[in-house]
Amino acid sequence: NVTILFTDIVGFTAMSQSCSPYEVMQFLHILFSKFDRLVDLDSRLWKVETIGDAFMLAAGLSTDDDDEEKEKTVMGSMRRDAEKASCAIAAVSFGKAVLDEASNHLMPNGKECQIRAGVHTGDVCSGVVGSRMPRYCLFGDTVNTAS
């Protein structure tokens, strides 16, 4: 199980229509750089990507090849369940932190930056997609529900 979190900016489309592309890009760069610093504070978090005003984060992506071996024991399974719960809590804590961080910023149109966040935990499929400018992607209902 992996926890996926998405954020998007309230009023982004209207703001981007009333501001120059440079102002929009600069605003997103400043805001998402702050989000990146929050990701860097917790090794359980992984920034997947940004698309427009959306920021996608994953927590609990496995890096061990022998996870299946570990889960065959009762203690291994309990330890893995505790790790999954810890990762979900880290993702929700990140969500709260970015809500607070966004409120410290004004959008280029002068309005306070407000974001929405969606989070869900479940199974995902991950991998690199494409050969020209390949991207690491996550797929599954968990991703769709979080978004």
Angle between helices 21-40 and 74-102 (to 10 degrees): 140
Buried residues in 32-49 as b, exposed as e (16+ CB within 10 A):
beebeebbeeeebbbbbe
Q: Return d(Cα 119, Cα 7) in angstroms, integer.
A: 9
For residue 68, pLDDT over 60 is answered with no
The closest alpha carbon to 4, from 53, 51, 49, belongs to 49
Span 72-108, pLDDT tens digits: 676 667 777 788 889 999 999 999 999 999 999 999 9
Residue 69 has pLDDT above 70, yes or no: no
For residue 95, the model assigns a pLDDT of 97
Q: Residue 83 has what pLDDT? A: 86
